[in-house]
């Protein structure tokens, strides 16, 4: 292990071979994001014209929609190919993909992390059910996001008579990771970070591919300064370390030890969007909760269900998890989603995805961008662009029950609650219940084959997936089922005897509006 300055690291990176593959850890909100190290790649390219035509691989989305994270690589000529689990944090990179200036692939976040592990272990790729029936399946798009992405990075194979996907391995030339501390032996500790993510798998993949590992840390300490179990990446895997005393725990700044579970502290919340539709959806979705179950929550409206659990003091009734490796705690929201204050446990993300992949998740609450009559859900394709699924596919594939949460329509929609009923003041201009989703992030057909319970909750109607199709099972009091629901859908659901959603969902939403 060698401690280097940013200038020294920039010189090392400028000497990388053209077409090198770079794998980086990190997640949204600056979570374990090695941005100072990533900025050295950018500086080397802008000042020296090298490295060029890189392949960039990242499992989760990282960046600030401006300069940090994957935005550091969003320069023409710097990257040739990007394989990412989530893309929205870099609008420039998204635009380059849309304009066919780079090859673009989108794969499940957990599958990418597990692929790093398989690469590091020298095994012949990742064999898994994760992605079957979705846009990642080679019978559909194979994870390709634009016209110039023609290579098959995923293939369909059979094992013991069953269809599985093989995510193909590749050598990793540079692994970029972050921790809190490095000791004089090169050991990296993440003891004050809110998560470990996949830093060990990234480092292992690079080292055993014959590449180099670059680590960014806040502080250098003497050998023996931390306990053996606080070592996240051992020093024999680390080549270069840059020490950044001004390193921030997240984009919120500073280091809050409650986010690493080292002390109990107040929750730092982002002021998220709050409206009647969100409150109604969260309240109705919470009715699906079963005490004693292991839960996962996704980004957006679905995270509001966790808020209800905490507000009602029921957090001990459930076992909370999120894909970043967190168990328990109070989930942060907005751009800080993926972090929890006062967590009970922090595992690596690949370990967490093992729990999900193996069927250890009882129930998950996730967002709903589009759905169709086959029960398919899209949260990854919008307006001709790929946003990516993050851990969505990994989570839903083996969860025993899935509850999707979203507004019925969007763009200009305005609703309110009054007198225990829903009042629609303006319909949205964009349908979300469509004839065919733009990309299958969740396969209704696969869910039926797996015997999964699937419920779709909106503020005016609730649907359930059945072997015969999507059935309308509840409608909001105060609406016209024909004019406000059926005529505003792109498919005809099964309609038998839908019941009314409970008036209390709307009464609660109205009380909050009155108090505000």
116 in Cβ contact with 23 (< 8 Å): yes
Q: Is the dihedral of CA 155, 27, 19, 66 positive or negative?
A: positive
d(CA 90, CA 76): 14
Q: Report the alpha-carbon distance of residue 244 to residue 63 in Å, rounded.
A: 18
Per-residue DSSP letters for 106-137? E--HHHHHHHHHHHHTT-S-EEESTTTTSTTS
Query: Residues 480, 454: contact at Cβ < 8 Å?
Result: no
C-alpha torsion sign, points 348, 349, 355, 358: negative
Cis bond upstream, residue 51 (ω within 30): yes
Establish whether 230 is a catalytic residue: no
Catalytic residue among 42, 103, 323, 370: 323
Q: Determine the Cα–Cα distance for residues 330 and 328; give it in Å rounded to an integer.
A: 7
What are the φ/ψ torsions at residue 512 (nearest 5 degrees)? -65, -40
Rounded to whole angstroms, what are the CA distances from 106 to 84, 212, 435, 507?
Answer: 5, 25, 24, 42
Catalytically active residues, by annotation: 323
């Amino acid at each position: 292990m060698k401690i280097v300055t940013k200038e020294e690291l920039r010189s090392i990176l400028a000497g990388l071979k053209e077409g090198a593959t770079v794998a980086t850890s990190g997640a949204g909100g600056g979570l374990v994001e090695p941005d100072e190290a990533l900025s050295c790649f950018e500086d080397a390219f802008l000042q020296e014209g090298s490295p060029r035509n890189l392949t960039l691989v990242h499992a989760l989305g990282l960046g600030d929609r401006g300069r940090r994270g994957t935005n550091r690589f969003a320069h023409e000529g710097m990257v040739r190919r990007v394989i990412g689990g989530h893309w929205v944090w870099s609008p420039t990179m998204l635009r380059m993909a849309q304009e066919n200036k780079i090859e673009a692939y989108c794969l499940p976040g957990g599958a990418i992390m597990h692929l790093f592990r398989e690469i590091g272990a020298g095994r012949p790729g990742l064999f898994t059910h994760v992605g079957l029936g979705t846009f990642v399946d080679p019978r559909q798009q194979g994870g390709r996001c634009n016209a110039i992405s023609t290579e098959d990075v995923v293939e369909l194979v059979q094992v013991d008579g069953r269809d599985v996907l093989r995510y193909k391995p590749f050598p990793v030339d540079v692994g970029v990771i972050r921790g809190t501390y490095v000791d004089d032996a090169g050991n990296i500790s993440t003891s004050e970070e809110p998560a470990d993510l996949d830093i060990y798998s990234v480092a292992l993949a690079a080292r055993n591919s014959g590449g180099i590992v670059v680590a960014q840390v806040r502080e250098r300490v003497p050998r023996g300064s931390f306990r053996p179990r606080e070592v996240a990446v051992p020093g024999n895997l680390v080549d270069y370390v840059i020490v950044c005393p001004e390193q921030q725990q997240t984009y919120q700044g500073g280091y809050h030890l409650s986010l690493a579970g080292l002390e109990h502290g107040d929750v730092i919340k982002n002021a998220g969007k709050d409206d009647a539709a969100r409150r109604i959806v969260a309240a109705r979705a919470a009715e699906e909760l079963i005490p004693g179950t292991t839960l996962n929550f996704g980004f957006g409206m679905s995270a509001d269900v966790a808020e209800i659990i905490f507000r009602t003091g029921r957090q001990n009734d459930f076992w909370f998890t999120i894909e970043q490796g967190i168990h328990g705690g109070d989930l942060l929201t907005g751009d800080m989603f993926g972090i929890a204050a006062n967590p009970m446990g922090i595992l690596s993300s690949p370990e967490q995805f093992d729990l999900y992949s193996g069927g250890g998740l009882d129930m998950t609450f996730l967002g709903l961008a589009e759905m169709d009559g086959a029960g398919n859900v899209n949260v990854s394709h919008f307006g001709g662009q790929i946003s990516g699924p993050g851990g969505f596919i990994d989570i839903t594939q083996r969860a025993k029950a899935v509850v999707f949460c979203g507004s019925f329509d969007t763009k200009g929609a305005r609703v309110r609650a009054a007198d225990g009923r829903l009042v629609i003041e303006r319909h949205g201009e964009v349908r979300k219940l469509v004839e065919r989703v733009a990309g299958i992030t969740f396969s209704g057909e696969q869910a039926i084959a797996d015997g999964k319970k699937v419920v779709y909750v909106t503020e005016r109607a609730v649907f359930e997936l059945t072997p015969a199709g999507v059935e309308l099972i509840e409608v909001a009091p105060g609406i016209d089922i024909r004019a406000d629901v059926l005529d505003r859908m792109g498919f005809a659901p099964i309609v038998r005897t839908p019941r009314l959603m409970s008036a209390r969902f709307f009464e609660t939403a109205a009380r909050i509006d009155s108090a505000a």
